[in-house]
Structure 1
Amino acid sequence: MRTTTIVKGDKKTINAWIFYDWANSVYPLVITTAIFPIYYEGATEAIGGKIEVFGYEFINTELINYVGALSFLIVSIVSPFLSGIADYAGHKKTFLKFFCYLGALSCIGLYFFDVEHPIFGLTCYLFASVGFWGSLVFYNSYLPEIAEPAEHDAISAKGFSMGYIGSVILLLISLAITLGHESLGLAEGEAAKMSFILTGIWWIGFSQITYRRLPNVKTGVKVKGKLLLNGYRELYKTFKGLEHTKRLKRYLRAFFVYSMGVQTVMLAAVYFAAKEVAWAEGEKTQGLIVSMLLIQFLGVAGAQLLAKVSGKIGNLNALKIVVGFWAALCVVGYFVETPLQFYIIAAFVGLVMGAIQALSRSTYSKFLPPNTQDTASYFSFYDVSEKIGLIIGLFVFGYIEGITGSIRSSILALIVFFIIGFLLLMMVPKEESVVDN
């Protein structure tokens, strides 16, 4: 049996791992929340806002939400299967590279998106999402191997910061290209599509720094039938373990519901603003990108602010406040019509976006059973729960628009998610109990 060991605490390995955040964080900002949604909505509105796929006609934003939901369904099914293989056979870096290249090349493929023949472009959008989220499964699994538990928070925070800086830099470059398209001799749509190519190149290029240092840990174990299902068995084992932890079980119920709303807002906000806000002529693209930058900048401040608040009043109380605030934001957002109103709501979304994500994960960590050894399985369950919530949230958001003809009506579903999530949080006990009722 041949093995390759990783020395925990090695600074070069840790920095190389962190750099993958710089490489891949351009995808969620440029492709899922900023440039591509603006391009897609504009290009499809030019042909009436409807797209025909396999003989069925869909509203443009309804369809893209369905595609997004499908991508998360694929990742939810495939990632436990592959992570089981990777953990035992030692192919983490191989899988990490595969999903990275799948996602990055799919981003580049979006350059060829054609509204008249949308299948190829939608397939690229699907696999870009699968590539990004699939790569994170193996990227995150390296953290316990390269650093001691006491270092995890600091390293994760540094990775988040690197990803934030890198993604904002590329978004600003994309904004400059889009706004200066005439001086570059490009149509506005063509300039927007250049950012898809830049995203893929950035992602592949900077990820090489990570691959140069991270090893494939070769165990020599042959992958047999039982190992293929190990990831699913671990998820089921964790699920059964929740039966004995009232506080954690009830918290996960609340998280599952309110997370549907949070994640859907992240992916659908630009489409709502593009359709429902009364932008002045030539203002839409710049206004939407500025809004996304505003959310990014305030997201970091919001996470730090809520961390201080939760330290004083406790995680659960802080979460109740933030989830209640989210519900109020959605109610107000339903009535947003002008750019100024959207900028204001975007600022508040930014403040609570990063805050609720950071606090949700840290609360989950604190609620794990005492002396939990297999934290990886619990966090794998947490991540799968979040993705299933996304599947439901995106599907419901798209379905309501499909049957009502209005994306504004879909916000009503988000309000319901947050209200139910808040009520479920109220049922989470302050102290752990081994007896559920």
Structure 2
Amino acid sequence: MSTATDRPDQATDPAADARAIGRMRFGWYVNDWANAAFSASVLTVFLGPYLTSVADAAADAHGDVHPLGLSIRAGSFFPYTVSFSVLVSVAVMLVAGTVADRTGRHKELMCGFAFLGALATMGMFFLRDDRYLLGGLLLVAANICYAVSVALSYAFLPGLATADERDAISSKGWAVGYAGGGLLLIANLALFEGHGALGLAEGTSVRICLASAGLWWALFTLVPLFRLPSRAGAAPIAARQPADPGRPTAGSLRELAHTLRGMRRYPLTLLFLAGFLCYNDGIQTVVSQASLFGSEELGMGKTALIGAVLLVQIVAIGGALLLGRIASKYGAKRTILGSLVGWVATLALGYLMPAHQPVWFFGLACMIGLVLGGSQALSRSLFSHLIPAGREAEYFSVYKISDRGTSWMGPLVFGIAYQTTGSYRSAIISLLVFFVIGFAVLLRVPVRRAIEAVGNPVPERL
């Protein structure tokens, strides 16, 4: 599906370039629209409580399940599975990134992993009775594919926006993603609420909602498949290094080792990445475990949980755009630091929140939505300035290790806290350490020097 825009040297007409950029940006936005369904409907709302109930059905008299001969509490199975999926996805993402940068097939790999993840998600329709191992297997497969696909999509950002445009373009992409995830949640909420009138059991309606996210993901991935160029750096804004078609597999493994060694030449980029991996682990654990916390600790029903997540999606649209505007005035780094203060306040409210009070829970959802989209969108755009040209997919694969629902340290800490205390309040407040450390590390990053060190143009405001 190669097009003229795959060859930057041929793009000389400014009007044609503008049309090509608009076309590619639309495809990139729709990619966020497509994969947000998995993040919102599967990871955030339905799968956590449902898979926990399936694990409960398979548990012994002590409330434990025994995957691979291990003995763990049924309530910890979901966060442990998320954590395990990330450990596996680390290697897959890094190798996929090096393959993409070396072959120039960013789009094909991105969409291929998206379709595989969508297929695994649709397979969750068959998750029932005590088949918790099937649920864990499908979650691992889908979450790995999601992580790789999204990491490769991030690599397109530097070619779609100038240095001063990236905060706004990244924020708009997040806003579109939340709109897509929210729209599907509305449909799922209607289905779940009306399952009795439709003659469906509650569990069946949940399984349909899970499968619908996979179908949504697959269908809308067709748009970036036809709108984006094969190579991430092929946009007319900035030509990137040409792809090397020779020996992609073995060469990419050598490139992987070279990338990991080469990152040591950019210690300030690594410092930012360390801070991001820490605070975003906290963000993603809050997102992925919020439904479990709400149902098990606060006594919220599925309707309230879906309504709260839908509220997060709606508020996050405005939050992403609002923080993007704030960043245009005060800089991305300052805005991210401010959002982390907001996350600390959100955790404190969650810990102190009374049970069986939906109004308080919806207030917590509004706080999450306000800081969620902006903190992630601005982190993505800021990191895009800190990576050397031609290495976008490789570096964003490292970045994606702790992005959007793929964190592993946070779910592990969350699961251990619950395992040892039996309280989800203790589990949620244990995540405070990730935001505090992330704030302290990001505060020490001299962003201008970091951008200059990799040879990229410095935006007007940082």
> Could you say which TM-score interval applies, normalised by the shorter chain?
0.7 to 0.9
Amino acid at match of 2:256: G
Amino acid at match of 1:423: A
Partner-residue secondary structure (3-state), 1:22? helix
Partner in structure 1 of residue 6 of structure 2: 6
Whether the aligned pair in 1 keeps the contact of 2:351 and 2:425 (CA below 8 Å) is yes
Whether the aligned pair in 1 keeps the contact of 2:175 and 2:318 (CA below 8 Å) is no
Partner in structure 2 of residue 237 of structure 1: 262
Partner in structure 2 of residue 350 of structure 1: 369
Q: Displacement of 1:120 after TM fit?
A: 1.3
Whether the aligned pair in 1 keeps the contact of 2:106 and 2:230 (CA below 8 Å) is yes
Q: What does 1:163-174 align with in structure 2 at a 5 Å threshold?
A: 163-174=177-188
Amino acid at match of 1:39: Y
Output one character per residue of 1:178-237: Cα deviation in whole Å (capped at 9) or x when no partner.
100011100111111111222222222222233244465696423353332313422331
Q: Which residue among 9, 14, 19 is the counterpart of 2:30?
A: 19
Whether the aligned pair in 2 keeps the contact of 1:253 and 1:424 (CA below 8 Å) is yes
Q: Which residue among 377, 394, 409 is the counterpart of 2:411?
A: 394
Q: Distance in 1 between matches of 2:55 and 2:368?
A: 27
Q: Which residue among 23, 44, 51 is the counterpart of 1:33?
A: 44
RMSD (CA atoms): 3.3
Q: Which residue among 435, 439, 447 is the counterpart of 1:418?
A: 435
Q: Displacement of 1:161 after TM fit?
A: 3.7
Distance change in 2, residues 1:219/1:275 (3 Å): same
Q: Distance in 1 between matches of 2:102 and 2:133?
A: 37
Q: Distance in 2 between matches of 1:307 and 1:24?
A: 21
Output one character per residue of 1:62-93: Cα deviation in whole Å (capped at 9) or x when no partner.
11111111212222111221222232234434
Q: Distance in 2 between matches of 1:134 and 1:286?
A: 32
Q: Displacement of 1:300 after TM fit?
A: 2.3
Q: Distance in 2 between matches of 1:327 and 1:115?
A: 38
Q: What does 1:85-100 align with in structure 2 at a 5 Å threshold?
A: 85-100=99-114
Whether the aligned pair in 2 keeps the contact of 1:80 and 1:232 (CA below 8 Å) is no
Structure 1 residue 102 corresponds to structure 2 residue 116: yes
Structure 1 residue 125 corresponds to structure 2 residue 149: no
Whether the aligned pair in 1 keeps the contact of 2:27 and 2:223 (CA below 8 Å) is yes
Q: Displacement of 1:291 after TM fit?
A: 0.5
Structure 1 residue 73 corresponds to structure 2 residue 87: yes
Whether the aligned pair in 1 keeps the contact of 2:281 and 2:402 (CA below 8 Å) is no
Which stretch shifts more, 5-14 or 190-199?
5-14
Partner in structure 1 of residue 346 of structure 2: 329
Q: What does 1:421-432 align with in structure 2 at a 5 Å threshold?
A: 421-428=438-445, 432=449
Structure 1 residue 361 corresponds to structure 2 residue 380: yes
Distance change in 2, residues 1:44/1:205 (3 Å): same
Q: Displacement of 1:177 after TM fit?
A: 0.7
Q: Distance in 2 between matches of 1:18 and 1:107?
A: 21
Whether the aligned pair in 2 keeps the contact of 1:44 and 1:51 (CA below 8 Å) is yes
Whether the aligned pair in 2 keeps the contact of 1:53 and 1:118 (CA below 8 Å) is no
Q: What does 1:32-431 align with in structure 2 at a 5 Å threshold?
A: 32-44=43-55, 50-143=64-157, 156-214=170-228, 216=230, 220-223=245-248, 225-238=250-263, 240-243=264-267, 245=268, 248-279=269-300, 284-336=301-353, 337=355, 338-365=357-384, 368=386, 373-374=389-390, 376=392, 378-384=395-401, 386=403, 390-428=407-445
Whether the aligned pair in 1 keeps the contact of 2:48 and 2:78 (CA below 8 Å) is no
Q: Displacement of 1:416 after TM fit?
A: 2.0
Uncovered stretches (5+) of structure 2, i.e. residues with no partner: 9-16, 232-242, 454-462
Q: Displacement of 1:358 after TM fit?
A: 2.5
The TM-score, its normalising length taken from structure 2, stands at 0.80
Whether the aligned pair in 2 keeps the contact of 1:38 and 1:274 (CA below 8 Å) is yes
Q: Distance in 1 between matches of 2:75 and 2:366?
A: 23
Amino acid at match of 1:23: A
Which stretch shifts more, 107-116 or 146-155?
146-155
The TM-score, its normalising length taken from structure 1, stands at 0.84
Amino acid at match of 2:365: A
Whether the aligned pair in 1 keeps the contact of 2:168 and 2:325 (CA below 8 Å) is no
Amino acid at match of 2:287: M
Q: Distance in 2 between matches of 1:201 and 1:54?
A: 31
Q: Distance in 2 between matches of 1:277 and 1:290?
A: 15
Amino acid at match of 2:146: F
Whether the aligned pair in 1 keeps the contact of 2:89 and 2:144 (CA below 8 Å) is yes
Q: Displacement of 1:301 after TM fit?
A: 2.1
Q: Displacement of 1:119 after TM fit?
A: 1.2
Q: Displacement of 1:252 after TM fit?
A: 3.6
Partner-residue secondary structure (3-state), 1:229? helix
Q: Distance in 2 between matches of 1:378 and 1:231?
A: 10
Distance change in 2, residues 1:153/1:230 (3 Å): same
Q: Displacement of 1:12 after TM fit?
A: 4.1
Uncovered stretches (5+) of structure 1, i.e. residues with no partner: none
Whether the aligned pair in 2 keeps the contact of 1:18 and 1:155 (CA below 8 Å) is no
Amino acid at match of 1:355: G
Partner-residue secondary structure (3-state), 2:6? coil
Partner-residue secondary structure (3-state), 1:74? helix
Q: Distance in 2 between matches of 1:408 and 1:202?
A: 34
Partner-residue secondary structure (3-state), 2:352? coil
Amino acid at match of 1:234: T
Q: Distance in 1 between matches of 2:308 and 2:361?
A: 8
Output one character per residue of 1:258-290: Cα deviation in whole Å (capped at 9) or x when no partner.
2221121111111100101134xxxx1110011
Q: Distance in 1 between matches of 2:106 and 2:324?
A: 33
Partner-residue secondary structure (3-state), 2:198? coil
Q: What is the aligned residue count?
A: 423
Identity of aligned residues (%): 30
Amino acid at match of 1:227: S
